[in-house]
Each structure stands twice: as structure tokens, then as C-alpha cells.
């Protein structure tokens, strides 16, 4: 092992969506940043791959996310302009399901509370306006024009490029093995080096439980999820704007899909599978039983999408008990901050989460809009 290196102002452990953004925002503020990642750039072991991700404002999960989303949109635009590459595409988005269900009622609440542009549609209006979609007669929908697509591999590469241009040192295939408090700072150990820094940012996704330690009683579960690209006849019919991003609430769960972009198919998946495991040993082979619920959904609601599987992949969700993110300082070691457990809906927030983590690391405070994501809400008071 090499002798100690540093000191750095901040070490970021995990250079996926959240960590690459944090490294960029920290370096942008003049901090001396070291970024560490367990895998090579562009890996497919975590939660930040797969050509496209949804970005949307009428957030059915909770209206409190909307101010963060507005800031995320602004930051994605700024990063896109600076890097000179398309990071997102506006396609419009439609959310379909029972009018009083979680999805449509929740999206409507957020849209109305925050005065977002939106249109409420009945099932017949959906069928007229979006010819490929077949909602049941009792379904309703909310359409929002500002929803769209992020390109995750490009977004992460852009944040890494911008961070490095501002002096951040990024090391891939060098996982953090252990960290320890070192006075008011931290000592970080990898297989090859020992590093020291004033602050540590943990953004290791599904590997967070083993890095946070027992002082952070955060019960996280890692869920195996499978994404498919289907290649129907007449693929161009499934391009935006005729075919926007969608989320669809059914008795079998929430399904989502994104229009054809570059890959020779249309991306569609079941949002939660209920299959849990360890990120190092979880089954990463796509099986016939993974396809069955997606195929059943497509045949019932988007019948002309019922083409062969062009490609598929496994990705991981890291889930909190309440499905919301956790962004906070370590309760026992305030020089350590972390963001994790984005519960399968976090990528769109990466640009603003990086900014929040930079605030926490450098000032100890974050924007008031992020207060509802702190750890305390999940901690049971002692009797």
C-alpha cells in the first residue's frame, strides 16, 4: 500500500449519478476533490445506466420534491450548455391510472400546488391524442408538457468531465475499503492508498449500508429490477412527441416507458419487482419470468408495442422504508455526509443532489427545500 496522500478538502466515494455531480459542484467551488469509484467508467453494476431516464415535474411521490426538481432542471440545462452535449430531451409525459389512485391523484396534487403546466384527460381523450395507448374506460390521465428524458451515461460523464476540468482527481476501479475519523477529518483506505481529507461524501448507492456503519440505523433494501427494450414493427411510431414518456398504474403495479431514441427499441419496465438481495451476488441474468408481467402489460395497454425483446438489463434500486431519499450528515461524524437510497426514482435529481451535498460538506447546511429528506424522519425516538 502506498503512503498517505492528501490532504484533500473532500473525498467523494462513489462516482455514479450523485457522486459525479457532487464532485463537480465541490470542485466548482474551489475545493480540492478526490473521487473514488469501485468500478471502471460507464459500468453497469449499479443504478445509473440504461440509455435513458425519466425527468418530470408533476411528482406523484410528493409535492415537496417539486422545488428540487425545478432546480434540477436548471442545473441540467447549465451542465448541458457547458459541456456542449445533449443531456436531456423534452418529450412530454403522461401518467395514467384510476382517477383516485396514487399516480394520477398524486401528480395532480403536485401540479396544482405548484402551478405546473398540465392537462387532465379522460380515457377517450388519451386514445385520441396518443394513438398507441389503450387505457381502460375508467382510467384518467395527467399530461405534462415539460417532462422528458435524461441520458444517464452522458450525464455522469459530463459531471466527471466538468469536475476534472476544475481540478478534481477521479480514480476509478479503486473502491473505498474503510474510512475512519481522523480528528476533525477522515482517513480513507483503498487497496492501494491511504487518503486524508477534511470531509467525506458517501454516494455508493446499493453499497451504502456497509459504508455507513452501525451509527446510522438506516434499514436499506437492494431490489433487483429489469428493463426491456421491445422492437415493434413501425418503430418510429414510438418516437416523441407522438409517444411521450409514460407511467401507468395498474393492479399489477406501476409500469413505465420511454420513447424510442437511439437503441433499436422502446424501453419499458415494471417499476418494482419485490426481489431483494446483496448487490455483489444479486442475479444479473434476465429471465423469462422477468419478461412476463411486462409482456402482459404491453399486450393489454400498448398492443402495437408487442414486438420481440431487442435488449434487456438488470439494475438496482436501493430502498428506504418510506421510499424517499436520505440526504444528511452522519449523526456520529458530521465531517461525513451522504446521499443514498433514492428508491428507484432518484436519477433526475442528481444535478441538485450534488449541489446539496456540496452545501452540506462545505457549510454544514443545505437548502431548506431538502430538509424533508433528512435522516431524522426514519429514526424511532427512544422511550
Q: Which of 118, 260, 267, 301 is catalytic?
A: 267
Told to judge if 382 belongs to the known catalytic residues of this protein, a careful annotator would answer no
CA–CA separation, 73 and 57 (whole Å): 9
Collapsing DSSP states into helix, strand and coil, what is residue 202?
strand
Told to judge if 52 belongs to the known catalytic residues of this protein, a careful annotator would answer yes
Told to judge if 345 belongs to the known catalytic residues of this protein, a careful annotator would answer no
Collapsing DSSP states into helix, strand and coil, what is residue 337?
strand
Told to judge if 53 belongs to the known catalytic residues of this protein, a careful annotator would answer yes
Helix (H) or strand (E) holding 300: helix 288-301
Q: Which of 25, 49, 56, 333 is catalytic?
A: 49
CA–CA separation, 242 and 235 (whole Å): 12
Q: Which of 25, 52, 159, 320 is catalytic?
A: 52
Told to judge if 342 belongs to the known catalytic residues of this protein, a careful annotator would answer no
Closest CA to 154 of 306, 341, 17: 17
Q: Which of 109, 154, 237, 271 is catalytic?
A: 271
Q: Where does residue 89 rank: exposed (0-12), middle (13-18), buried (19+ CB within 10 A)?
A: middle
Told to judge if 203 belongs to the known catalytic residues of this protein, a careful annotator would answer no
Told to judge if 199 belongs to the known catalytic residues of this protein, a careful annotator would answer no
CA–CA separation, 231 and 65 (whole Å): 34
Q: Which of 25, 53, 199, 333 is catalytic?
A: 53
Q: Which of 91, 155, 260, 315 is catalytic?
A: 315
Torsion on CA atoms 125, 126, 127, 131, rounded to nearest 10: 130
CA–CA separation, 202 and 13 (whole Å): 5
Instruction: Provide the annotated active-site residues.
Output: 49, 52-53, 267, 271, 315, 348
Amino acid at each position: 500500500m502506498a503512503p498517505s496522500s492528501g490532504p484533500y478538502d473532500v473525498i467523494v466515494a462513489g462516482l455514479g449519478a450523485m457522486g459525479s455531480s457532487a464532485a463537480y459542484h465541490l470542485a466548482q467551488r474551489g475545493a480540492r476533490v478526490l473521487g473514488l469509484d469501485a468500478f471502471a467508467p460507464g459500468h453497469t453494476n449499479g443504478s445509473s445506466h440504461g440509455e435513458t431516464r425519466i425527468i418530470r415535474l408533476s411528482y406523484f411521490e410528493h409535492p415537496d420534491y417539486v422545488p428540487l426538481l425545478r432546480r434540477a432542471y436548471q442545473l441540467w440545462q447549465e451542465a448541458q450548455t457547458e459541456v456542449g452535449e445533449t443531456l436531456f430531451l423534452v418529450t412530454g409525459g403522461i401518467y395514467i391510472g384510476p382517477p383516485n389512485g396514487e399516480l394520477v391523484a398524486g401528480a395532480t396534487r403536485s401540479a396544482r400546488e405548484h402551478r405546473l403546466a398540465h392537462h387532465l384527460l379522460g380515457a377517450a381523450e388519451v386514445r385520441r391524442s396518443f394513438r398507441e395507448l389503450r387505457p381502460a374506460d375508467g382510467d384518467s390521465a395527467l399530461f405534462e408538457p415539460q417532462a422528458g428524458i435524461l441520458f444517464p451515461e452522458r450525464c455522469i460523464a459530463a459531471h466527471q468531465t466538468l469536475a476534472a476540468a476544475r481540478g478534481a482527481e477521479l480514480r476509478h476501479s479503486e473502491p473505498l475499503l474503510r474510512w475512519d475519523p481522523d480528528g476533525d477529518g477522515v482517513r480513507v483506505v483503498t487497496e492501494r492508498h491511504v487518503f486524508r481529507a477534511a470531509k467525506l461524501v458517501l454516494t455508493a448507492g446499493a453499497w451504502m449500508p456497509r459504508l455507513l456503519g452501525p451509527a446510522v440505523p438506516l434499514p436499506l433494501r437492494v431490489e433487483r429490477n429489469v428493463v426491456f427494450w421491445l422492437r415493434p414493427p413501425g418503430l418510429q411510431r414510438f418516437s416523441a412527441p407522438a409517444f411521450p414518456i409514460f407511467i401507468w398504474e395498474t393492479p399489477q403495479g406501476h409500469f413505465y416507458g420511454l420513447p424510442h431514441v437511439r437503441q433499436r427499441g422502446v424501453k419499458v419496465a415494471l417499476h418494482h419487482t419485490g426481489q431483494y438481495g446483496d448487490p455483489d451476488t444479486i442475479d444479473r441474468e434476465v429471465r423469462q419470468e422477468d419478461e412476463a408481467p411486462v409482456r402482459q402489460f404491453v399486450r393489454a395497454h400498448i398492443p402495437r408495442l408487442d414486438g420481440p425483446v431487442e435488449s434487456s438489463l438488470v439494475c438496482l434500486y436501493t430502498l428506504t422504508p418510506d421510499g424517499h431519499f436520505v440526504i444528511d450528515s452522519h449523526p456520529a461524524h458530521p465531517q461525513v455526509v451522504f446521499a443514498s437510497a433514492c428508491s428507484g426514482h432518484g436519477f433526475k435529481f442528481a444535478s441538485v443532489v450534488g449541489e446539496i451535498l456540496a452545501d452540506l460538506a462545505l457549510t454544514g447546511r443545505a437548502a431548506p427545500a431538502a430538509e424533508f429528506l433528512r435522516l431524522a424522519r426514519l429514526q424511532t425516538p427512544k422511550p
